[in-house]
Amino acid sequence: DTAVSQTPKYLVTQMGNDKSIKCEQNLGHDTMYWYKQDSKKFLKIMFSYNNKELIINETVPNRFSPKSPDKAHLNLHINSLELGDSAVYFCASSQGSGSPGELFFGEGSRLTVL
Amino acid sequence: SQQGEEDPQALSIQEGENATMNCSYKTSINNLQWYRQNSGRGLVHLILIRSNEREKHSGRLRVTLDTSKKSSSLLITASRAADTASYFCAHSSTNDYKLSFGAGTTVTVRA
């Protein structure tokens, strides 16, 4: 069983479109994250939710809207896609709240904006 | 920025050799972690070292932490071709709830 699963794995779309990436974890973890990895492999946190409550919201354009319907799911919706949004987006989860311990990552969703 | 820095950016070694990579950070930390990322895959947790620990081992991995220098090192002994990957350090600061990653070291192990 996949612990943290993301869909889709690949996403190719035109500038200006809206797209969503879904994430689910079956580990029973309380905290979920979205990270963005750019072409130089630089990994930057975007959002974090603990039990459906937003606890980290980095300086991310408000075109990005996370939604957590329950603590096992964290989705990412992106409006009006721009070329600079092209990246690999990783979902992750960890047990508990507060200072994070081990993170479990999904396989990533590669977004290409043309 | 709270991002860590890693050194070297890339490393190429022969199978059987040891690989050492270093990581520096700027804040006070709760813990520091190392992750591996194979090409096209997600990150996999390798080891976590707490701020009050100085050294930790896991199989062929050895991690050290020097909080006075705000630095850590990861040593992979007797490397194998399967160790070819990018390695990232990540630290958890005492004043926030996020794990901040370094830029990674790309390790290539030649057979």
A94-113 pLDDT per residue, tens: 998 778 889 999 999 999 99
Residue B105 structure tokens: 């070291």
Kindly report the length of chain A: 114
A30, with CB counted inside 10 A (0-12, 13-18, 19+), is middle
CB-based contact, B48 to chain A, within 8 Å: yes
Domain that holds residue B33: 5-110
B82: phi then psi, degrees, rounded to nearest 5: -70, -10
How many structural domains compose chain B? 1
Which of A42, A99, A101 lies nearest to residue B103, judging by beta carbons?
A42
Is residue B4 less than 8 Å (CB to CB) from chain A?
no
The answer to whether the Cβ–Cβ distance between B97 and A107 falls below 8 Å is no
As a three-state string, the secondary structure of chain B is CCCCEEECCEEEEECCCCEEEEEECCCCEEEEEEEEECCCCCEEEEEEEECCCCEEEECCEEEEEECCCCEEEEEECCCCHHHCEEEEEEEEECCCCCEEECCCEEEEEEC
Q: Is B33 on the interface with A (CB under 8 A)?
A: yes
Which pLDDT tens digit goes with each residue over B48-96? 999 999 999 999 999 999 999 999 999 999 999 999 999 999 999 887 7
Q: What is the mean pLDDT of residues B96-106?
A: 90
Q: What is the mean pLDDT of residues B89-107?
A: 90
The CATH code for residues A4-113 is: 2.60.40.10
Q: Does B72 touch chain A (CB under 8 A)?
A: no
- Confirm or reject contact between B41 and chain A (CB < 8 A): yes
- A57-76 confidence digits (pLDDT tens): 887 899 999 999 999 999 99
**pLDDT of the residue at A86:** 97
Q: What's the pLDDT at B2?
A: 56
- Chain A residues in contact with B92 by the CB 8 A cut-off are 99-100
CATH of residue B66:
2.60.40.10
Q: For the segment A11-54, what is each residue's pLDDT rounded down to a tens digit? A: 999 999 999 999 999 999 999 999 999 999 999 999 999 988 99
